[in-house]
Amino acid sequence: MANPIRLHHVPWGRSFRVLWMLQEMGITPEITRYKIGDKAMRQPGLTDLSPAGRIPALEIDGITIFESAAILQYLCESRPDHGFGRAPGDGERVCYLEALGFAETMASLIEQLNLNHLFLRPPARPSAAVVKLNTLRLGATLGALERMIRGDYLLPSGFSAADMMLGFNLFAAPFYVRMDAFPAVNAYWARLQKRPGFQAAAAIEGPQEFYAKDFYEVPSE
Ligand SMILES: N[C@@H](CCC(=O)N[C@@H](CS)C(=O)NCC(=O)O)C(=O)O
């Protein structure tokens, strides 16, 4: 029997991108779940697969891969019938690659805000200056996304891996940035959440447990 497909995963973490694409492809993986801060994330079970102890890592087709963009691209190339990739020579290739990379420009800002607002433990305290700067920078990436959306999705020809990479960030961004200024982004996020693949992945996740508040203000000095 073929080895199962196994996703190393933190619910509603970046590994959601992979879970979402697998669901779009009709594949339900076996899942090993972790929590941010778990010792298990720094132990060989995970670090043998993902050297910095980060999720996602995916075991598939007899190999393991880490980094969400690499995994999505691998899935696009190994399962091309779904049409989620844009191959070299495709007229949308450059925009596609830009969106895959830009997703992590945005996600790294969210990660800093998560660290400051959610994960620091006393006596460590969030830095108001760092939070303010990262919140402004996150807002700037949302402004860029507002201009990048073409039609229903990021690419004129339709839904792609770029939407799963970049679109996933919109789960977290509204906890830190007021979204009223970004109508196209809000409509795009609503559209993404209606996709059966997204809904199937969200049903596997259950309710998010990262954010205890509806909105996190920049702390005062
Ligand atoms: N660029 C990587 C980032 C992976 C990453 O940092 N994942 C976070 C969760 S969203 C993580 O594993 N954090 C664990 C930690 O910081 O200890 C990717 O896209 O896969």
Cα–Cα distance between 31 and 38 in angstroms, integer?
A: 16
Query: Fold for domain 93-195?
Result: Glutathione S-transferase Yfyf (Class Pi); Chain A, domain 2 (1.20.1050)
- Given this model, what pLDDT does residue 1 score? 59
**Ligand 1: which of 54, 64, 104, 105 to mutate, judged by most atoms within 8 Å of the beta carbon?**
54
Region label for 63, one of left (φ > 0), alpha (ψ between -120 and 50) or beta (otherwise): beta
Query: What is this structure's pTM?
Result: 0.97
Question: What three-state secondary structure class fits 63?
Answer: strand
Interval between CA 89 and ligand 1 midpoint (Å) = 31
- Given this model, what pLDDT does residue 150 score? 83
- Given this model, what pLDDT does residue 220 score? 83
Cα–Cα distance between 118 and 87 in angstroms, integer?
A: 39
Q: What angle do CA 145, 191, 111 make, to 5 degrees?
A: 45
- Given this model, what pLDDT does residue 106 score? 98
Give the end-to-end CA distance of the chain in Å, rounded to a whole number.
Answer: 59
- Given this model, what pLDDT does residue 219 score? 86
Positions of the chain with pLDDT lower than 50, given as ranges: none
- Given this model, what pLDDT does residue 221 score? 72
Residue nearest to atom 1 of ligand 1 (CA): 67
- In angstroms, what is the C-alpha Rg of the chain? 17
Taking only the tens place, the pLDDT of each residue in 173-212 is: 999 999 999 999 999 999 999 999 999 999 999 999 999 9
